């Protein structure tokens, strides 16, 4: 009887051990096959999720966890490219708006900018059929109601349009110096609206920046009141937008957690629709033959 019990106990232990090894092997294979399954909801944008229809249907796409640290040389290259692109865009915009015709097409050029950004973001989130083998979606598409993002879209469109006007009626150096005042404006508005304060060290840095801008732009302010007024309106709108976007990204919109690319894709589409309504009232249709000589030849 004792021998039978011992044999039965040994058999049960062997079965449990076998099941344990089988479960471990299965879990290991599952973890290797679906590395994104263990990620939390806050990591949704980096897990390459794709939504079909409503929010309840979310399918994980294959992804490989990046365990290698980013090379410092690659980081330096990314920062350098970002700085170079930012500076290049400012000078190209200045050249564009220095033209007698294009400087009266502020809303049209900004709308073109918005629509181009929307198309690129949409392609990044939803690659067309033939391109699905080339790259994976960078983030999931998440549509928001117009009403929920209308205030931020108004600020978004306002600060970009005013920034273009500022670049049109000011020099590049004055335009860049005026943008520095966005930081102290954010600090001031945060204090006035939310009673938020910063440390004395940061306050000193902000004060030094304000003094530097005042010294460098004193003569320009006196000689160009229109350009200065537009520049002030531009960095005030920019500061309001930065405060609003900071609070928007920290809270759900329509019950959805929204990442920066998802919000920007919605913003550009809604903002372009707003500006299209203003184009007939403020923009002048340019003579495209001036920019495309071939059109003149076709007319003749």
Beta-strand (E) ranges in the chain?
49-51, 58-60
The string of DSSP letters for 149-203 reads HHHHHHHHHHHHHHHHHHHHHS-HHHHHHHHHTHHHHHHHHHHHHH-----HHHH
What's the length of the chain?
300
Instruction: Indicate the DSSP class of residue 256.
Output: B
Query: φ, ψ for residue 287 (rounded to 5)?
Result: -85, 100
Per-residue confidence (pLDDT) for residue 219, from 0 to 100: 62
Contact 166, 173 (CB under 8 A): no
d(CA 245, CA 46): 20
d(CA 94, CA 68): 41
* pLDDT at 7 exceeding the cut of 70: no
Q: Which two tokens stand for residue 197?
A: 């304060």
The contacts of residue 224 (CB under 8 Å, 6+ apart) are: 169, 170, 174
Contact 237, 158 (CB under 8 A): yes
Per-residue confidence (pLDDT) for residue 139, from 0 to 100: 86
Per-residue confidence (pLDDT) for residue 3, from 0 to 100: 46
Contact 275, 157 (CB under 8 A): yes
Contact 47, 139 (CB under 8 A): no
Q: Which two tokens stand for residue 146?
A: 């117009």
Report which of 142, 113, 128, 156 is spatially closest to residue 262, judged by C-alpha positions. Answer: 142
- Give the mean pLDDT of the chain: 75
Give percent of the chain with pLDDT exceeding 70: 68
* pLDDT at 134 exceeding the cut of 90: no
* pLDDT at 205 exceeding the cut of 70: yes
Q: Which two tokens stand for residue 124?
A: 């990044």
Per-residue confidence (pLDDT) for residue 46, from 0 to 100: 35
* pLDDT at 89 exceeding the cut of 80: yes
Instruction: Indicate the DSSP class of residue 131.
Output: G
Contact 160, 111 (CB under 8 A): no
């Amino acid at each position: 009887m004792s021998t039978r019990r011992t044999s039965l106990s040994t058999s049960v232990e062997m079965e449990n051990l076998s099941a344990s090894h089988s479960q471990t092997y299965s879990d290991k294979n599952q973890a290797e096959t679906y590395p994104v399954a263990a990620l939390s909801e806050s990591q949704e944008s980096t897990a390459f999720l794709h939504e079909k229809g409503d929010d309840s249907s979310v399918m994980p796409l294959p992804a490989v966890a990046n365990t290698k640290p980013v090379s410092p040389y690659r980081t330096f290259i990314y920062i350098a490219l970002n700085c170079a692109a930012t500076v290049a865009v400012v000078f190209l915009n200045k050249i564009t708006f220095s033209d007698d015709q294009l400087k009266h097409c502020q809303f049209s050029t900004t709308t073109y900018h918005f629509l181009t950004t929307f198309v690129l973001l949409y392609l990044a989130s939803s690659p067309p059929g033939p391109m699905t083998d080339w790259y994976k979606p960078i983030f999931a598409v998440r549509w928001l109601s117009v009403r929920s993002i209308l205030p931020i879209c108004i600020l978004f469109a306002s600060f970009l349009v005013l920034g273009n006007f500022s670049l049109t009626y000011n020099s590049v150096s004055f335009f860049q110096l005026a943008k520095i005042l966005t930081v102290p404006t954010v600090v001031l508005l945060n204090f006035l609206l939310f009673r938020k304060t910063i440390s004395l060290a940061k306050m000193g840095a902000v004060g030094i920046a304000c003094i530097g801008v005042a010294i460098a732009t004193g003569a320009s302010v006196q000689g160009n009141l229109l350009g200065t007024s537009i520049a002030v309106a531009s960095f005030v709108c920019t500061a309001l937008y930065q405060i609003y976007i900071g609070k928007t990204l920290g809270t759900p919109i329509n019950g959805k957690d929204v990442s920066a690319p998802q919000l920007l894709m919605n913003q550009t589409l809604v903002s372009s629709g707003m500006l299209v309504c203003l184009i007939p009232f403020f923009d002048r249709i340019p003579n495209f033959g001036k920019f495309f000589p071939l059109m003149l030849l076709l007319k003749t």
